[in-house]
Amino acid sequence: MLHRFDTLVIGSGLAGLSAAIEASRHGSVAVIAKLYPTRCHSSAAQGGIAAALGNEDPDSPEWHVYDTIKGSDYLADQDAVRTMCEAAVKTVIGLEHMGVPFSRTPGGKIAQRRFGGHTKEFGAAPVRRACYCADRTGLAIVTTLYEQSQRRGIKFFPEFHVLDIMMEGDRCLGAAAMEIRTGEICAFSACATILATGGYGRVFRTTSNAIQSTGDLPGILLEKGLPLEDMEFFQFHPTGLYGLGILVTEGARGEGGVLVNGKGERFMERYAPHIKDLAPRDMVSRAITTEIREGRGVGERDFVYLDLRAIPEKTLSERLPEIMNFCRIYMGVDPSVAPIPVVPTAHYAMGGIPTDQGGRVMKNEAGETTLGLFAAGECACVSVHGANRLGCNSLLDTVVFGRRAGEAAGKMKDIFMVEAAAESEEVLGPAKNTVSEILRRRGDEKTGAVRKDLQELMMGRCSVFRNEAGLKAALEGIKELKERAKHIAITDRGKRFNTEVLEAIELGRLIDLAEVIVSSAVQRKESRGAHSREDYPERDDKNWLKHTFAFKKAGAFKTEGNIEFSYRPVSIAGFPLRKREY
């Protein structure tokens, strides 16, 4: 099948839907995604969306800019952060107008709560900035945006798995995707293609990310010779349910929950004397990991407690109902009577496809952009999160930059036309090859086993703390895994809904991304934000105040040699570098 639209959006999460709605003002829009629209992982976002509305506490976008930059350990591009934070108020009001059912203050305004790293008066004290809908903010916003997309007649292609981006030089002409239920490979031609495929937390064992968060599109772009930015920065959320990684929102601490170690101490007082449990995620994750490593975990085991017992029961049931449910169902714990066992869980990729503020995908560190190719959301890197993202800024990022990408992409049809692709080997060949190559593989390996080993490897060597020896060993491990992946045998030879083939393809992308993550982590010889090197414990602004651009080098795999790096300076606009203390 051949399809032709003005704008093509890949991914139906918050960024994708925001982009689609914006682009639909200019022309026809199609959204393709490997899931049904509301099954995206944005639905799992809990805590809120940050905006200095000032409904509960006096607040200012300027403070929000400062917090975001400080939270990013000064790696965020300050002009982009300003764009985002200044758009935040209007964005959240716009979401309310679309129908998002936010929780309300007694006066009927959008309710707000405290969140990690969000402060007033440039770090003086925590501020209520997170606009929320109980602890299902993501679900509320995704549902509303999906509703509004239907209203605007946006065409959805659910359960289409993108296998290839069609490029002609620097121009993107659309994408080739497999209709999962038939196995047919279709071409989608478009004047502009927006990538909004979310994260790739599935490279780690303990993750809050969905099973489908496999980073397919960043993997494809890497293959096409395009760069990925700041891949070494992967956020570990401090409070994932022990053993499962299911997220417990920072909002739980915003409402008054505290972290407690095996000795019953509120250990965050030692790490962030001012804002304690509401320190940014990278610091809290390091604190928890340090406590556990130094033998102050709970009991014999490797976790700490998140204690919500100080929160009144009414607040728990009204503002954190989902958390209460998760704990009851998955842990058999009632947070109103017992503390919750938590560990850091892989949560968010700060890095991704480099874009400018209009979502245009950069093809090199000089900032030259491709034509007709856009990216937004977690898969992109603008970069507003730098080395560490603040809670509630991700939803804001997806909507603000999703819309900006959508607007820029929608206008592409006036700049250059794309005709519907012909059904030719040239157009669909690479996508078909991806599938047939998988089906040709012979051997005795299984996707599940290789994926599990990859996740274990990344968790052990490249998680909260990293060091040169561990990372180098990880690269060796990845090399082996690549070899093993070549011997995966596919038992399901059918065309219809063949998830076995798709999982094998996804695994290939995950391994590629893991390689980029580890390689990027090896070369950055400093500690900044979420990238914490035991062998280089200090931030090194002299040498490393720059974004990493990783390219895949053509040719054989060599340790440290398969990825090439170049660097892009960080934009500083108004907030000079300081030591980061909370």
Partner 1 sequence: MEKDRVKKFRIKRWDPERASKPRWEEFTVSLDPFERLLDGLIRIKDNLDGSLTFRSSCAHGMCGSCAMKINGKNALACQTLAKNTPEVVVLEPLPAFPVIKDLVVDMDPFFEKIGRIMPWLLEDGPPPERERTQSPEEMKKILDAIKCIMCGCCTSACPVYRAGKDLYLGPASLVKAARFIFDSRDAGWEERLEMVSGKNGIWRCHSIYNCYEVCPRSIDVTGIISRLKRMSVKKMLLPPRRPG
Q: Residue 207 or 548: which CB sits closer to partner 1? A: 207
Please check whether residue 171 is in contact with residue 189, taking contact to mean a CB–CB distance below 8 angstroms: no
Among residues 124, 449, 469, 573, the one that binds partner 1 under rule CB under 8 A: 449
Q: Residue 312 or 448: which CB sits closer to partner 1? A: 448
CA pair distance 85, 13, nearest whole angstrom: 21
Least distance in Å: CB of 210 to partner 1? 4
Q: Retrieve residue 41's tokens.
A: 């992982």
Please give the helix or strand (H or E) that residue 432 lies within, else none.
Answer: helix 425-440
Q: Retrieve residue 4's tokens.
A: 């032709």
Q: Does 326 bind partner 1 (CB under 8 A)?
A: yes
Q: Does 43 bind partner 1 (CB under 8 A)?
A: yes
DSSP assignment letter at 204: S
SS3 content of the chain, % helix, strand, coil (to 5): 40, 25, 40
Instruction: Considering only the stretches 61-69, 139-147, 399-407, 411-419, report the one whose residues sit in contact with partner 1 under the rule CB under 8 A.
Output: 139-147
| DSSP annotation string for 468-526 | HHHHHHHHHHHHHHHHHHTTBPP----STT-HHHHHHHHHHHHHHHHHHHHHHHHH--S
Number of Cβ within 10 Å of residue 563's Cβ equals 24
Among residues 4, 79, 98, 170, the one that binds partner 1 under rule CB under 8 A: 98
Q: Does 136 bind partner 1 (CB under 8 A)?
A: yes
Closest alpha carbon to 235 in 283, 187, 174: 283
Cα torsion 372, 216, 214, 546 to 10°: value is: -60
107, with CB counted inside 10 A (0-12, 13-18, 19+), is exposed
Number of Cβ within 10 Å of residue 482's Cβ equals 18
Q: Does 495 bind partner 1 (CB under 8 A)?
A: yes
Non-local CB neighbours of 140 within 8 Å, separated by 6+ positions: 100, 101, 102, 133
Q: Does 103 bind partner 1 (CB under 8 A)?
A: yes
Among residues 314, 440, 442, 496, the one that binds partner 1 under rule CB under 8 A: 496
Least distance in Å: CB of 496 to partner 1? 5
Point out the catalytic residue in the list 281, 286, 466, 580: 281
Non-local CB neighbours of 332 within 8 Å, separated by 6+ positions: none
| DSSP annotation string for 2-64 | EEEEEEEEE--SHHHHHHHHHHTTTS-EEEEESS-GGGSGGGG--S-EE----SSS---HHHH
Least distance in Å: CB of 13 to partner 1? 11
Q: Does 332 bind partner 1 (CB under 8 A)?
A: yes
Q: Residue 123 or 341: which CB sits closer to partner 1? A: 341
Instruction: Considering only the stretches 95-103, 160-168, 285-293, 379-387, report the one whose residues sit in contact with partner 1 under the rule CB under 8 A.
Output: 95-103
Non-local CB neighbours of 255 within 8 Å, separated by 6+ positions: 113, 114, 308, 311, 315, 316, 319, 320
Instruction: Considering only the stretches 107-115, 167-175, 217-225, 561-569, report the one whose residues sit in contact with partner 1 under the rule CB under 8 A.
Output: 107-115
CA pair distance 285, 177, nearest whole angstrom: 38
Among residues 8, 210, 382, 521, the one that binds partner 1 under rule CB under 8 A: 210
Q: Does 573 bind partner 1 (CB under 8 A)?
A: no
Non-local CB neighbours of 526 within 8 Å, separated by 6+ positions: 533, 536, 538, 539, 540, 543, 544
Instruction: Considering only the stretches 262-270, 291-299, 321-329, 355-363, report the one whose residues sit in contact with partner 1 under the rule CB under 8 A.
Output: 321-329
Closest alpha carbon to 175 in 25, 2, 379: 2
Q: Does 78 bind partner 1 (CB under 8 A)?
A: no
* 129 is known as an active-site residue: no
Q: Does 547 bind partner 1 (CB under 8 A)?
A: no
Instruction: Considering only the stretches 268-276, 361-369, 382-390, 497-505, report the one whose residues sit in contact with partner 1 under the rule CB under 8 A.
Output: 497-505
Q: Residue 79 or 453: which CB sits closer to partner 1? A: 453
Q: Residue 109 or 472: which CB sits closer to partner 1? A: 109
Q: Does 543 bind partner 1 (CB under 8 A)?
A: no
Name residue 563's amino acid. I
Q: Does 41 bind partner 1 (CB under 8 A)?
A: yes
Q: Does 563 bind partner 1 (CB under 8 A)?
A: no
Q: Does 160 bind partner 1 (CB under 8 A)?
A: no
Q: Does 102 bind partner 1 (CB under 8 A)?
A: yes
Please work out the total of residues on this chain that contact partner 1, with binding judged by CB under 8 A: 63
Catalytic residues: 281
Task: Name the site residues for partner 1 (rule: CB under 8 A).
Answer: 35-36, 38-41, 43-44, 92-93, 96-99, 101-110, 133, 136, 139-140, 143-144, 147-148, 150-151, 181, 210-212, 243-244, 246, 322, 325-326, 329-332, 446-449, 452, 490-492, 494-500
